[in-house]
Amino acid sequence: MTHTSRRDLLKTLASAAALVATASASAQSGTGPAIIKVVVPFVAGGITDQVARGILDRVSKSLAQTMVIENRPGAGSRIGSEAVMRADPDGTTLLFTNPSYSILPVTDPAVKYDPAKALAPVALAGTYGLPVVVSARLPVNTLGEFIAHARKNPGQLSYGSAGRGSGAHFAGEFFQRLTGTEMVHVPYKSTSAALIDVAGGVMDLTFDATAKAYADAGKVKIVAVTGSHRDPRLPNVPTAAEGGLQDFVLGSWLGLFAPVGTPAPVMDRLN
């Protein structure tokens, strides 16, 4: 699966709730922590935050425990992620994140953790393709037209991401490599903030899964999605491959992690 529609997401939520329902008895008997803090290393309102709140609300009810989301944005997700790495491995602190977790060590020399060992994976929440979102002020309506425009204006266009090493940063660099274009990278604390500037006409491009409302209002143009299939929320938007950029297939994931050393019974219960 390379995209998540609202209907598919609801199915995922229901499945997640069913999987943990059998753990309710142990939770009610007091074997689990009273409050579980789930760190989202991005600002509230983005796709990672939205999915986290939807899923964890149902999991919280199934476990009969309170799950509180703490948004700790910054440094391309590094601040929140490393905070969970330092947390006690007792099941009271978890991380809900996206590919930034695995990309950061490759793109930022200051990041020293090994994503395969730094945290213990609990569950995959879903995957989706990234919408390619461009400013409505640009004289383009398709992915091909945007590429041509960028090639004619090297170094004059900008794209925003959630910071160095974030998924949108990776997408932007990958896009430039494939198309032979040159754009200026502008890091934000979240792609939601970059999206606001694209809608305001001060930024040219970003990759954000919450852009539909802006597109419907005519404030941005979604010229493609990076998944291998069209997004059901955007049935008229072609994939990048359909738009002529065959190799620009990029899926994003969302998942839950715990500190290494979290006891197996706790991990099994959460899973």
Length of the chain: 271
Q: Does residue 44 belong to any structural domain of this protein?
A: yes
Reduced to 3 states (helix: H, G, I; strand: E, B; else coil), residue 45 is coil
Output the average pLDDT for the chain.
87
Winning range, highest mean pLDDT, from 69-78, 127-136, 163-172, 187-196: 127-136
Q: Does residue 79 belong to any structural domain of this protein?
A: yes
Residues 160 and 110 placed together within one structural domain of the fold: no
Q: Does residue 1 belong to any structural domain of this protein?
A: no
pLDDT at 27 over 70: no
Residues 135 and 119 placed together within one structural domain of the fold: no
Helix (H) / strand (E) element for 96: namely: strand 93-97
Residues 73 and 143 placed together within one structural domain of the fold: no
- Note the pLDDT tens digit of each residue in 200-233: 999 999 999 899 999 999 999 999 999 999 999 8
Helices (H), the chain: 6-21, 24-28, 47-63, 78-85, 100-107, 143-152, 167-179, 191-199, 212-216, 264-270
Residue 7 CB neighbour total at 10 angstroms: 10
pLDDT at 14 over 60: no
Q: Does residue 72 belong to any structural domain of this protein?
A: yes
Q: Provide the CATH number for the domain around residue 147.
A: 3.40.190.10
Q: Provide the CATH number for the domain around residue 65.
A: 3.40.190.150
Longest CA–CA span in the chain (Å) reads 66
Residues 66 and 100 placed together within one structural domain of the fold: yes
Residues 87 and 152 placed together within one structural domain of the fold: no
| Prediction pTM value | 0.73
Of 127, 220, 123, 122, the residue nearest 167 (C-alpha): 127
Q: Which residues contact 241 (CB under 8 A, 6 or more apart)?
A: 228, 248, 249
Q: Does residue 35 belong to any structural domain of this protein?
A: yes
Distance CA 175, CA 180 (A): 8
pLDDT at 108 over 90: no
Rg (CA), the chain: 19
Say which residue the tokens 């491959």 belong to.
Answer: 241
Q: Does residue 222 belong to any structural domain of this protein?
A: yes
Residues 101 and 16 placed together within one structural domain of the fold: yes
Residues 84 and 47 placed together within one structural domain of the fold: yes
Residues 260 and 185 placed together within one structural domain of the fold: no
DSSP code at position 238: P
Residues 233 and 138 placed together within one structural domain of the fold: yes
- Note the pLDDT tens digit of each residue in 36-94: 999 999 889 888 998 999 999 898 998 888 999 999 988 888 999 999 999 999 999 99
DSSP code at position 239: B
Q: Does residue 146 belong to any structural domain of this protein?
A: yes
In the chain the first and final C-alpha atoms are separated, in Å, by 20
- pLDDT (0 to 100) of residue 166: 82
Tell me which long-range contacts 49-53 makes (C-beta under 8 A, separation of at least 24): 50/210, 51/4, 51/9, 51/96, 51/125, 51/126, 51/254, 52/96, 52/125, 52/254
Q: Does residue 11 belong to any structural domain of this protein?
A: yes
Number of domains in the chain: 2
Residues 233 and 257 placed together within one structural domain of the fold: no
Distance CA 15, CA 55 (A): 10
- pLDDT (0 to 100) of residue 29: 41
DSSP code at position 65: S
DSSP, residue by residue, 117-146: TSEEEEEEEEEEEPEEEEETTSS--SHHHH
Residues 76 and 182 placed together within one structural domain of the fold: no
> Which domain range does residue 193 map to?
131-249
- Note the pLDDT tens digit of each residue in 149-163: 999 999 999 999 988
Residues 77 and 138 placed together within one structural domain of the fold: no
Distance CA 193, CA 175 (A): 20
